[in-house]
Amino acid sequence: MTKKKNTATAGTPATTLLDREKVDYTLHPYAHDPAVVSFGLEAAEALGVAPNRVFKTLLVATGEQGASALVVGIVPVDRSLDLKAIAAALGIKKVEMADPVAAERRTGYVVGGISPLGQRQRSRTILDASAMGHETIYVSGGHRGLDIELAPADLQRLTDAQIAHITHH
C-alpha cells in the first residue's frame, strides 16, 4: 500500500461519502496558518472566493439527551449563527454553542476542520437558506486547509438538511 504524500488531498470521511454517492465536487487545498482563528475567512481569502460562498459548520447544544443533543448549523463564514433562529427552526426555545470537545467527539473532526459531510455520528442539520442562491458553495473537507466545492442541493441531500434563515450579521 502506498501512502499519499500530499495529506491535503488524502481521503477524509467527507470525500469518501462524496465518492460513494457519486457526487460532483472539487477539492480545494490551501496552506492553513496555525495562528489564524477565523478558519472560514482564512479559507475564503486563501481560495479567492467570496466569503458568502464559504460555509462554516457549527454545532449547537439543544439541552436534550442522546442523538438530538447536538445539531449542526451550516452558515456563511461572513455571518454569525443566530441562536434564536436555529432554535426556532428546530421548534425549541433555545440552544447554545456546543462544547468544542463534544463537537469533535460527535463529528470525528477537529474544530476548524469540521465538515458537515461524513461525520462520525449523524446529527440533525440546518443549512442557511442563503446557500441555495449559489450554484456551488464551499464547506470544510474534513481538516484545516481543505475545502470542498459542491452544489448546495447535494449538500442538503447528503446531510438531510432542513433549509432555514439562521444567520445575522
| CATH for 151 | 3.90.960.10
Is the distance from CB of 125 to CB of 74 less than 8 angstroms?
yes
Q: Is the whole-model pTM more than 0.85?
A: yes
The verdict on residue 6 lying in a domain is: no
What is the number of structural domains in the chain?
Answer: 1
The verdict on residue 64 lying in a domain is: yes
The verdict on residue 5 lying in a domain is: no
Is the distance from CB of 134 to CB of 47 less than 8 angstroms?
no
Nearest one of 44, 115, 47, 110 to 77, comparing CA atoms: 44
- Owning domain of residue 67: 24-168
Q: What is the pLDDT of residue 10?
A: 61
Residues whose CB falls within 8 Å of the CB of residue 83, separated by 6 or more in sequence, listed in order: 60, 94, 95, 96, 97
pLDDT per residue as tens digits for the range 71-85 = 999 999 999 999 999
Is the distance from CB of 78 to CB of 41 less than 8 angstroms?
yes
